[in-house]
Structure 1
Amino acid sequence: MSLAVQIRQHGGPEELALVDLPVGAPGPGEVLIRHHAIGLNFIDVYHRTGLYPLSLPAGIGMEAAGVVQAVGAGVTHLAPGDRAVYASMPPGSYCEMRVLPAQCVCRLPDAIGFDTGAAMMLKGLTAQYLLKKTRPVEGLQAGDHVLFHAAAGGVGLIACQWAKALGLQLIGTAGSDAKCRLALDNGAAHAINYCREDFAARVREITGGKGVKVVYDSVGKDTWEKSLECLRPLGLMASFGNASGPVAPFAPGLLGAKGSLYVTRQTLFTHIATRASVQAMAEDLFAVVASGQVRVHIDQRYPLAEVQQAHRDLEARKTTGSTILTP
C-alpha cells in the first residue's frame, strides 16, 4: 500500500484527499519507484480544477525523484536501486510509491540530490524546450532580448539563469518588487513589476522601441494582449500556461496588423514523446545544473499531508522558485 493524494471530483484544494492505495508490480515498459521528494507545479492546479480534465477518481502530480524498486519487461535503461527522476504522464506523483511508464524516467546523477531532482524536472525541461527549441523564425543570438513572464517562479528562475548562460538579455516580469529582485539576482537583465508598471511600455523603452523577438508566457489571459505589443515584427508569442485563465479567442488578422507575428501553444509532453528526446533534454538539464550555471531554488517544502495548503499558497502567488512535497 502507498499513501497517495487523490481527487474524486474537480474543484478547490479541499478536493485533495489522502488515501491508501495498492501498488502492484510493474508491467512491460513500467517501473516501480519509491519517492524521496515530489515536485509541485501549476499544471497540478489545472488537473485539480478540471481546466485539464482527468478521468476520476485520479491521482495528481507530474514529477518526483526516488529509488527504483523494480522494473518491468523491456526496461533496459533502469535497474532496481537506481536513483531516478521524472516528469511524466499520467498524473500520480503525489504519493509514497507508484508504478508508471519507464519512458520518461531517467537516472539521477549522483551530483544532484533528490530534492533538487524533484524540483527541477518538469520546470527545467520546460525551460530547456523554450530556450532551445521554441525560437522565433529569425533565431536567437547572444545579446537578443526576450520577455519571460512569472520570472520569479520555478520555471522562471531556471530560465533567467539559463538565458544568461546563453548570452540572452532576459526581461522578466513579476508581481512584486521582491520577486523582481529575485529575478535580477538570478540573471535577468531587467525586471518589471507588472502591478506597478505598464510592462509593454517598459519593454519598448528597454529595447529602444524595437520590441523583443519572443515572449514566453505561462500567465495567459492577463498578459496576452500587452505581450503582443512587446513583439518586434516577425516575433514569436510562445504560450505555455494559463495561470490567470485561458486566453480569449482572437482574430488571426490581429497578428498581421502587429507585424506578421507568430503564435504557438507549447506543451512539455510533445517534446518528451520519445525515450531518446527525454534523455537528450534531461542530459542538457543535468549538465547545466551540475555546472553551477543554473541553481534550482527550493523555497517551500510541505509534508504530503499538507498538500491542500501547498495548493492554496501556489494559487495565491505566495510561492517563489520551486516547491516540493515530502512523502
Structure 2
Amino acid sequence: MPPTDSRIRAVRLDGPGGPEVLRLVETGQPEPGPGEIRVRHAAIGLNFIDVYQRTGLYPLAWPSGLGLEAAGVVETTGPGVRRFRPGDRVAYANGPVGAYAEAHIVREGRAVRVPDDLPLETAAGALLKGMTAEMLLRRVFHVKPGQTILLHAAAGGVGLLLAQWARALGARVIGTVGDAVKAELALARGCDHVILYGEEDVAERVRALTDGDGVAVVYDSVGAATAEASLDSLARRGMYVSFGNASGPAPAVAPLRLSRGGSLFMTRPTLFDYVATTDELDAAAAALFRVIRDGSVQVRIGQTFPLAEAAEAHRALEARRTTGSTLLIP
C-alpha cells in the first residue's frame, strides 16, 4: 500500500464551463467519518456524466470536485465500518463527486470488493459503464436471444461492453459509429452490423437489415443528433432507451409520436436508481465481474491520461477522439 501523506492532489472547479475550468490543486488528506472509507486510487474512470456535471447540465454545488468512479485500496476506515478493512481492493462508481483525486472518501455501502484476479485498472474502466450496460440489457429492457437491437456510439465505453454482453445473451447487434476505425473496433467487439451515421441514413439502413421490421430496442447515449433516427428504427411496441446526451439533450417527444411510431415505449433511466441499495449495487457489480472473468466481455482501456491532464482527457472525450474506456492515473 502506498505511504500515507498529509496532502493529496485533486482536481477542483469553481463553476461550470469548458475543460479549462479543471485545475489541479493540493489539498488536505480527507479523513473518513462514521461508515466511511478512504480509498487510495490506482485508477480513475472518466465518464460522460463528468462532462455533463462540469458544464452544468447536471448541476453541482460550486466549488466542487469531479468524478464518480475509481478503484484502489482501502487506506483507512471510519468508526463503525464492517464491510471493508484497510488493504481491501475496492471500486466505486456512484460517488460522491470527487474521484478526480489521489484519494477519496466513500460510504462503505457504495463501494464493492474487486476480485483478486481483476486488475484495479480494469475495475476503474468498467464499473460505471459495465453496470450501466447490465442495467440496460437485463432490467430496463430484458434482451432475449434472437432479438435485434440498435446501439448508438457502439465503439464508446458503454457501447463496447454492451455490444459484447448483448451478443453473449444471444442478441443480434446493430451499432452506429462515426468512422471506419471505430467501425472495425465495434465489429470486433460484439456488433454484427455497423452503420456509419455520417454517411448513411440510420433508420433506412436498420429497416434494410431487419426486413423492414425495425429493432426491439434502441440504446441511445448520443441524444439530440440521434433521437429521431432512434424512434424511426423501432419495431412495433419497441422501446427507445435514452441514456445520454453526448450531442446535447434529446428533444421532447410527444405521446402521439410514440403512438404513431407503432405504440412505442420510451424511458430515460439513470443507473443510480437501479443501484440505490447496497444489495442492488453488489448484484450489479457481481454480474459485471462474472462476464468479465468468464471472457464474455473484454474491457478495452483505450487511453490513459495523468490526473494533471484531466482537461485534455475531457477535450478528447467531447471531440469523440476516444474509444473504449478512458482512465486518469493519479
TM-score (norm 2): 0.96
Verify the 8 A CA contact 2:222 2:247 in the aligned structure 1: yes
Matches within 5 A, 1:101-250: 101-135=107-141, 140-250=143-253
Kept after mapping to 1: 8 A contact 2:150/2:219: yes
Give the Cα separation in 2 of the matches to 1:128 and 1:303. 29
Which of 77, 80, 87 aligns to 1:74? It is 80
Amino acid across the alignment from 2:89: R
Question: Percent identical across equivalent pairs?
Answer: 52
Equivalent residue letter for 1:315: E
For 1:247 and 1:119, how far apart are their aligned partners in 2? Answer: 26
Q: Note the alpha carbon deviations across 1:217-271, whole angstroms, 9 max, x for none.
A: 1000000011101111111101110000011223211111111111000111111
Contact 2:143 2:166 in 1 (8 A): no
Q: CA deviation at 1:59?
A: 0.6
Which amino acid is the alignment partner of residue 145 of structure 1? Answer: T
8 Å contact from structure 1 (residues 23, 99) kept in 2: no
In structure 1, how many angstroms separate the alpha carbons of the residues matched to 2:153 and 2:15?
A: 29
AA partner of residue 25 (structure 1): E
SS for the counterpart of 2:73 is: strand
Pairwise CA distance, 1:157: 0.4
Give the counterpart letter for 1:323 in structure 2: T
Distance 2:63 2:284 in 1: 32
Is 1:50 the counterpart of 2:53? The answer is: no
Q: Letter of the aligned partner of 1:304 in structure 2? A: L
> What secondary structure does 1:294 align onto?
coil
Amino acid in the other structure paired with 1:184: L
Task: Please give the alpha-carbon distance, in whole angstroms, between the structure 2 residues aligned to 1:235 and 1:73.
Answer: 49
One-letter amino acid matched to 1:151: A
Which residue pairs with 2:288 in the alignment? 285
Moved more, 94-103 or 260-269: 94-103
User: What residue number does 1:31 align with?
Assistant: 37
1:8 aligns with 2:14: yes
Distance change >3 Å, CA 42–CA 258, structure 1 → 2:
same
Q: Unpaired runs of 5+ in structure 1? A: none
**Number of matched residues?**
324
1:321 aligns with 2:327: no
1:299 maps onto 2:305 in alignment: no
Q: 1:175 is matched by which residue type in structure 2?
A: G
Q: Secondary structure at the match of 1:282?
A: helix
The one-letter code sitting in structure 2 at the alignment partner of 1:19 is V
Per the normalisation by structure 1, the TM-score is 0.97
- Are 2:62 and 1:59 aligned? no
In 1, are the aligned partners of 2:222 and 2:246 still within 8 Å (CA)?
A: yes
RMSD, aligned CA: 1.0
Aligned equivalents of 2:192, 2:103: Cα separation in 1: 41
Instruction: Give the residue type in structure 1 aligned to 2:113.
Output: R
Unaligned runs of 5+ in 2: 1-6
The AA in structure 2 aligned to 1:132 is R
Greater displacement, 71-80 / 46-55 = 71-80
Shift in Å, 1:75: 2.6
Q: Within 2, Cα distance between the matches of 1:166 and 1:203?
A: 20
**Distance (whole Å) between structure 1 residues aligned to residue 46 and residue 34 of structure 2:** 28
How far the C-alpha of 1:156 sits from its partner, in A, is 0.4
Counterpart CA distance in 2 for 1:306 and 1:241 is 24
Partners of 1:228 and 1:72 in 2: CA distance: 49
Counterparts of 2:163 and 2:261 in 1: how far apart (Å)?
27
**1:117–1:256 CA distance, 2 compared to 1 (3 A):** same
Q: Deviations over 1:180-202 (max 9, x none)?
A: 11111001111111011011001
